[in-house]
Amino acid sequence: MKWRRIVVGTVTFIVPTTIAFFDIVGYVAKVEGASMQPLLNPELSTDKKPESDFVLLNRWKTHGMQFKRGEIVSLSSPTDPDHKLIKRIIALDGDLIKTPGYKSPHVRIPEGYCWVEGDHQKLSMDSNYFGPIPKALLHAKASHIVWPPNRWRKLDVNPTDPDRLISEEQVEAIRDMRLTEID
Amino acid sequence: MIKKIIARSSGVLFYMVQYGCLAHCTFEYLADFCVCSGPSMQPTIYSSDIVLTEHISVNYKRVQKGDIVIARSPTKPLEFICKRVVAMEGDHIFNSNAQNIKFVPRGHVWLEGDNKHNSTDSRIYGPVPYALLRSRVFFKVWPLSDMGKMKMPKEEW
């Protein structure tokens, strides 16, 4: 009788509340790979025993789909739905940016899309490979490193290098320059 | 008296949380109802029809060509779209809008509405990542006269 109560209680209360909490509020996830070095997993690929970082992923803040440039986000990979990536938002819709390794040197981000990159450019599979991605793929913001304990810290928002964003005035200037050349 | 009120209300709150979370899990992982709006899936689904959708085939990658799916809109992150899967990853598809043949890359699907003349779909915004799919429409519950399993459209697939 006692066992039955425990089983029923677990199935009808603990399991659904835990899943709902992870879905709505947030959860902790292990970071794999070196794409966000030196911020995350700095010791990976050195001689030391590799110890992965665990980050706190805040899902609550993504329900409104409002993002800022420089935020670290977790997203589903556009090329593999089972795979989750962790990257930094470089540009939002409407921006015109210079790309370091994409097929075209300048990209205008379409509406509803954004541009994400890893901090470690050489080791990152990011928008330079698959282009702008729909914002709907972003599902959480990474807010803290929570494990190992000595690495506990808040993850800062690093605003994008202003040199990479091309402002509307610059676009106008380039257009004017070209026009005068034609004249 | 006050103790009794607190005990009562905390009991009610407990049940509200419990059933809210149970409902969340059911609607997110099993099945849910959707009220469709817009003309893009006519004549299969009309505006304000109610359909039943299930999440299992999407979660276990069982979606096939010809299935009707609910997905997050790639251009409007807060909105959902209801379209038919026309091509899967690795397929080549003729884009009747741009008049060219497009390749559907790995991890993507090609979505089109059944109403080819009035639908914003992959012909406009290109292949959609599979991760944006949310559920598969399998049963229409409203209007009652049209109740039943979802069918293929009359034209050839």
- The answer to whether B75 contacts A110, with C-beta atoms less than 8 Å apart, is yes
Mean pLDDT computed over A9-17: 85
Percent of chain A surpassing pLDDT 70: 91
Using CB atoms and an 8 Å cut-off, which of residues 140-179 of chain A contact chain B?
none
Q: Is residue B23 part of a domain?
A: no
Is 80 exceeded by the pLDDT of residue A65? yes
Band (B154; pLDDT cuts 50, 70, 90): low
List, for residues A105-156, the tens digit of each pLDDT value.
888 899 999 999 998 888 888 899 989 999 999 999 999 999 888 888 898 8
Q: Is B145 among the catalytic positions?
A: no
Q: Is residue B5 part of a domain?
A: no
Residues 6+ apart with CB under 8 A from A32: A41, A52
For B77, the closest of A16, A65, A77 (CB atoms) is A65
Q: Is residue B9 part of a domain?
A: no
Q: Does domain A27-182 have CATH number 3.40.718.10?
A: no
- The answer to whether A135 contacts B77, with C-beta atoms less than 8 Å apart, is yes
Distance in angstroms (rounded) separating the CA atoms of residues A67 and B117: 34
Residue with tokens 């080819």: B116
Percent of chain A surpassing pLDDT 90: 37
Residue A53's pLDDT is 87
Partner B contacted by A113 (CB < 8 A): yes
Residues 6+ apart with CB under 8 A from B127: B102, B104, B105, B108, B109, B110
Mean pLDDT computed over A10-29: 90
ipTM passes above 0.95:
no
For B73, the closest of A13, A78, A136 (CB atoms) is A136
Amino acid at B66: G
Q: Is residue B139 part of a domain?
A: yes
Residue A153's pLDDT is 87
What range does the domain containing B62 cover? 30-146
Structural domain spans, chain A: 27-182
- The answer to whether A136 contacts B74, with C-beta atoms less than 8 Å apart, is yes
For A79, the closest of B74, B75, B106 (CB atoms) is B106
Mean pLDDT of chain B: 89
Is 50 exceeded by the pLDDT of residue A183? no
State the total domains in chain B.
Answer: 1
Residue A7's pLDDT is 87
Mean pLDDT computed over B89-99: 87
Is 70 exceeded by the pLDDT of residue A49? no
Element (H, E) at A73: strand A72-76
Is 80 exceeded by the pLDDT of residue A44? no
Q: What is the CATH number of the domain that holds B103?
A: 2.10.109.10
